[in-house]
Amino acid sequence: MNLDDTDCRLLAALQKDAHLTSQELGEMLNLSASQVGRRRQRLEQDGVITGYAARLDPARLGLGVQAFVQVQMATHAPDAAASFQRLLQTRPEIISAWTLTGEADYLLRVMCEDLTALNRVIHEVLLPHAAVARVQSQIVMNQFKADAPLPM
C-alpha cells in the first residue's frame, strides 16, 4: 500500500489520540476537515485502520498479574492446532497470542486478578488440552514501556 507523508502523519496522530476530530486533524496536517475525513475513510476501507479502542488501566480493573506464557505442543497436527486456537479464543484472560519459531510454539499474554487465577489458567485450561506438552510462564514484574504506537 502506498502511503504518503500526510497519511503517515494522520496515522501517527490517530494512534496517539483516536478522539481527534477531523477539524483538529486538519489543523495539524494543514488540510481541510473534509480532506482529512476522506483520507481517514480511505484508510479504514483499505484496512490500514482496523478499529478504534480505549486503553484501560489493568490495575484499576483488578488485574494485578500480567504474564507471558510459552506453550510447547505435543503434536502439530492441524486439527490439534485448530482446537487449541479455538480454546485460546474463548479465554478473556488471554489477551493476545502468537505462533512462534523456536522451542515454544505459542506465546500468550495473560492478564489475571492474582497468581491463583494465573495458576488456574495454566493448570485447568492450558495443560489439560491434549495437544499441549509443556507450559512455561514468566510473570511481569514491571512494565516500564507501555504498548507503543506502530512506527510511522
Burial label for 36, CB within 10 Å (0-12, 13-18, 19+), is buried
- pLDDT of 1 reads 77
Of 8, 53, 24, residue with least CA distance to 147: 53
Full-model pTM: 0.87
Phi, psi of 9 (to 5 degrees): -70, -40
Q: Do the strands 94-99 and 65-73 form a parallel or antiparallel pair, or are they unpaired?
A: unpaired
User: Which domains are seen in the chain, by residue range?
Assistant: 5-45 (1.10.10), 59-139 (3.30.70.920)
Instruction: Name 99's bridge partners.
Output: 106
Phi (first) and psi of residue 110, to 5 degrees: -125, 135
CA 70 to chain centre: 16
Per-residue confidence (pLDDT) for residue 99, from 0 to 100: 97
How high is the pLDDT of residue 152? Answer: 84
Residue 31, all three cell numbers = 488540510
Q: Would you give per-residue pLDDT tens digits along the chain (152 residues)?
A: 799 999 999 999 999 999 999 999 999 999 999 999 999 999 999 999 999 999 999 999 999 999 999 999 999 999 999 999 999 999 999 999 999 999 999 999 999 999 999 999 999 999 999 999 999 999 999 999 988 889 98
HSE value, Cβ hemisphere, 13 Å, CA-based, for 110: 30
